[in-house]
Amino acid sequence: MKLSIITICLNNLEELKRTVASVLQQTCKEFEYIIIDGGSTDGCKEYIEGLAGVSQWISEPDKGIYNAMNKGIRIAGGEYVLFLNSGDELYNDGVLAEALPLLKGEDFYVGHSMLNRNGKSTLRKTPQQMSVRFLLEDSIMHQATFTRSALLKERPYNEQHKIVSDWEYFLQEWVLHNRSYVPLDIVISTFYLGGISSNEKSARLNDAERKEVIDALLPPRVQAEICNHDAYYLFDEKLEKKIQKALSLPPIRRDIKLLRNAFKFMWKDIWKACRKSS
């Protein structure tokens, strides 16, 4: 089986119906569909029981979003996993027919998403080239990410974090373990803003969790150098490779190497700025 689509839900029956419809209406049927319900009391369980196109499902209390997602990972039989959580939907009926032939053994395949806020849609494009700087400032969309399931089974999502574990997972796998990233020029999904990660009440928790992850990986000085927004600063491929190599070293050697490269590029930028102003 090429693909496992996993949907998690909790007491949002109408949103679940929208997600399920987008999956079961796909013209390509070469996937299994798994639904993990957190013990809903609004009719989700009864709705799932009556569905003909669901391969496996669980309905029981969980310990949060990533605990539920990990439950799905454990029973997934596909070579790749796509998380399409309750409320989100595949972009059109032919998305999987277009995307599945492109999944050829790399670790992460990431397409574009449509962001829907109050009925107004905006295209969210995935980067053509992945960079540390992008990951420190932004995130890929898990609703548009086909992840090799063997990676998720080997190291599931961090259940200690409540919002950012999917971002944390890709950051660590791509930077520390040199996993491959392939952009897909296809709109995979529609993401409806308003979930836990886009709720204003959760913004501070999101920032705190991201900071915790970044601080564990990069010294503050290196973070500042990477996220320098001056117009003359170009985050080139050479620096990318140096940072990736340094991050794979033991902690003290990692920090020394990162700081050395940071100072090297800082003087390079100062020299460029001086030449520009002269």
The β-bridge relationship of strands 89-90 and 181-192 is antiparallel
Please tell me whether residues 233 and 207 are part of one structural domain. no
User: 228 and 199 in one domain?
Assistant: no
Co-location of 22 and 7 in the same domain: yes
pLDDT of residue 57: 97
Predicted pLDDT at 274: 61
Do 121 and 20 share a structural domain?
Answer: yes
Longest dimension (CA), the chain: 74
Of 200, 215, 230, which one is at a domain's C-terminal end? 215
Contact 205, 246 (CB under 8 A): no
What does the pLDDT read at residue 231?
A: 35
pLDDT, position 182: 98
Q: How far apart are CA 23 and CA 92, in angstroms?
A: 9
Look at residue 68 in the predicted model and tell me its pLDDT: 97
Q: How many domains does the chain have?
A: 2
For 45-49, the CB contacts below 8 A with 24+ separation are 47/13, 47/16, 47/17, 48/16
Q: Which helix (H) or strand (E) holds 270?
A: helix 251-277
List, in sequence order, the alpha helices (H) in 84-142. 95-99, 132-137
Identify any residues that bridge with 191 across adjacent strands, giving them in sequence order: 115
What are the tens digits of pLDDT across the range 48-67?
A: 999 999 999 999 999 999 99
Q: Is 236 helix (H, G, I), strand (E, B) or coil?
A: coil
Give the domain-ending residue among 215, 236, 267: 215
In this structure, what CATH number is given to the domain that contains residue 28? 3.90.550.10
* CA end-to-end distance (rounded Å), the chain: 62
Task: Decide: helix, strand or coil at residue 277.
Answer: helix
Residue 194 is given by DSSP the state -
Which pLDDT score, from 0 to 100, does residue 215 have?
86
Closest CA to 183 of 127, 140, 117: 127
**Are residue 163 and residue 226 in the same domain, yes or no?**
no
**Host H or E run for residue 19:** helix 13-24
Helix (H/G/I), strand (E/B), else coil: 170: helix
Give CA torsion, residues 126, 34, 162, 91, to 10 deg: 30
Phi/psi region, residue 43 (left: phi>0; alpha: psi -120 to 50; beta: rest), is: left
The segments of the chain whose pLDDT lies below 50 read 229-235
Report the distance separating Cα 162 and Cα 64, nearest Å: 7
Domain extent at residue 269? 220-277
